[in-house]
Amino acid sequence: MGKHVFCTDLCLERGEPLAGTGDAPKRVLMLAWPRGKWRTPRWESIDMSPALSEALHEAAHAKLHVALVDKVEAEGRLPTLHALPENVYADFSDEAELITAIRDYVDGKLFAGTPDTRPTIICCTDSRRDACCARHGFSTYKALVKIADPEEFNIVQATHIGGCRFAASLVVMPQRQRYGRMTAEHAEAFLDAIGKNEVYLPAYKGRSDEAEPAQVAELAALKWAVENGLGTSAVSLDGAIPEDAHEGDLLTLEAELHGARLSIRMHAQDFMVQGNCGVVAEGGGEMTLRWCVDEVIAHPKTAAH
C-alpha cells in the first residue's frame, strides 16, 4: 500500500490561498451523537433509527447544515439538539419529539428551548470523511477546549463542515465566520479574538455571502490595517467585480476603512484543487480559478474641511 498523501499538504505545496473561501452555512442543526458512532453519510451513523435517519437526510437536502457533535470536556454535556443562528438548544423526552423538532425547524419553526448567549465554535474532526480533519482537527479541538472558559465558549467537535484541504476547519456561529488552517498554536489568540467579537485574521477565510474577490480584498485591507497600527474596522469596497474571469485577469478594488484608503490589486490564477484525501487517492481533482493578492497600495486621505 502506498503512503497516504494528505490533501492539506498538496494544497499548501500548490500555494492555494485560504482567503476567499469563507462561505458559512446560514442555518445549522447540531445533534449530539458519540464521535465513535459517526459514519458517512452522517444520517447512517451507528444506532440511528430509520425514522431519525430519514429526518436528518431530509433536513440536509433542505439545505440545512446538519452536524453530529460531541465533546471531550471533563464536565458538562451537550444538549440533544441545538439550532443556529438562533442559538437555542433543547433535550427531548423521546425520539418522536426530537424528529418533530427537526422537521419543524426545516419548515422554519423553531422548537422550544433554552437560549445560549455563548458563541459556538464548530471544529471538524471527522476522520470518517477525511484524514486531514482527524490529523489537524482533533489536536486543534483539544487545544481549544483545554484553555477555553466553558462559560464563555461552546466548543464542539463535529462531522464534516467542508474545506477539508484547509483543515483544521472551523465555523463560528451565530457570527457565520469560517476559519481554516487552524492549529493548536492558534488556540489562545483565536479565543481572545472571538471573545472580543473580533475576526481572527490569521485563519479567517472571508466574509460569507460575498464574492471571492470582495472577500480577498476585505481581508487584505484588514490585515494591512492591523500591520500598520490601525486595528480592525469596517471596510467599504468599491469597484466592479467581473461575473466571469480567466487565469491571468487583473482586478483592482478600492477599500476605505478608518484611517486609510487602499487599492487592492489581485490576479486570477488556476489551481489544481483536490478537495479531500479521497479525491487525491482516486487521482481526481479539477482546475479552479482563485483570486490572489499582488499588492496593497495606501493613498493619502483627503483632510475634511
* Residue 279 DSSP one-character state: H
* Fold category of 24-206 in CATH: Glutaredoxin (3.40.30)
Per-residue confidence (pLDDT) for residue 303, from 0 to 100: 46
| In the chain, where the domains are located | 24-206, 210-299
Spell out the per-residue pLDDT of the chain, length 305, in tens.
468 899 999 999 999 999 999 999 999 999 999 999 999 999 999 999 999 999 999 999 998 999 999 998 656 679 999 999 999 999 998 999 999 999 999 999 999 999 999 999 999 999 888 899 999 999 999 999 999 999 999 999 999 999 999 999 999 999 999 999 999 999 999 999 999 999 999 999 999 999 999 999 999 999 999 999 988 888 999 999 998 999 999 999 999 998 899 999 999 999 999 999 999 999 999 999 999 999 999 998 654 43
Pairing of strands 236-238, 120-124: unpaired
Find out whether the peptide bond into 168 is cis, omega within 30 degrees of 0. Answer: yes
CB 66 within 8 A of CB 105: no
Q: What are phi and psi of 156, to 5 degrees?
A: -130, 150
- Joined together, the cell numbers standing for residue 80 give 440533544
Q: Report how far residue 222's alpha carbon sits from residue 26's, in angstroms, rounded to the nearest whole number.
A: 24
